[in-house]
Structure 1
């Protein structure tokens, strides 16, 4: 059932995810084609805000809002890394770079770890996730509580 918390969570975390994706792009090696990467990550953020932050927006106090915001931001990051890893693996698989399906599946996780290191070494991306997530959580909580 749609609620104000779910709608606001979806909007705030889609915007945060888009911003974070744009901040991530300079840390990737040159020549990487992104296409609609930022929009896909924003869609993941939208889902994370709707399903993770939204239901918990009106509950508890400030600590729960911070916790839910951080969890929504990290959930977005995880699924973005997973989706990007699958996308890169499919590109490699079509170029016959894997010997079999098991190697391709493990390739997804290797690509996730490679991109995770890029995220962890980018202070802008880490700040967006670790500061922006809780701030979005607080904003959603405050706006939902204001009736």
Structure 2
């Protein structure tokens, strides 16, 4: 059911996804074509904020911080998974894999490589700060607009 808390959580997590995408861009190898990178991450943020954070508001201040951190962690994991799948598909179309199982297992290898590339203090600092803001704002919206 649509609520103000779900909308606020979705919009704020979409903004956080966009900001984190801009932080990730310089960390990737030179010459990387990003295309719809920011838009995909913002859409994932909207969906995760709506479903994960927005559904759990109204349980108190500490729970709102936990919800923000959980939602941001889910956002990062989903974004890594989606972009790893895209990269695997791109490589599979160039016949880089011997079979389907090798392609499927490479999703996790590619995701771990991407995770290592983005693991910087700046990225995690912005992610934690954004998680706090998103969780507290969604809880405040849930209390204010019922």
Question: TM-score band, normalised by the shorter chain?
Answer: over 0.9
* Native 8 Å contact 2:9 2:137 kept in 1: no
> Aligned pair 1:9/2:21, yes or no?
no
Q: How many aligned residue pairs are there?
A: 145
TM-score, scaled to structure 1:
0.95
Measured in 1, the distance between the counterparts of 2:48 and 2:69 equals: 11
Query: In the alignment, which of 122, 135, 140 is matched to residue 124 of structure 1?
Result: 122
Which portions of structure 1, spanning 4 or more consecutive aligned residues, are displaced by more than 4 angstroms?
none
SS of 1:64 mapped into structure 2: helix
1:51-108 CA deviation, whole Å, 9 max, x = no partner? Answer: 0000112x21110000000010010000000000000001110111110000000110
* Correspondence for 1:104: 103
Q: Specify every segment of 5 or more residues in structure 1 that has no aligned partner in the other structure, as ranges.
A: none
Structure 2, unaligned runs of 5 or more: none
- 2:66 matched residue in structure 1: 67
Corresponding residue for residue 49 of structure 1? 49
Q: Provide TM-score, normalisation by structure 2.
A: 0.96
Alpha-carbon distance in structure 2 between the residues aligned to 1:50 and 1:13: 9
SS at 1:68 equivalent: helix
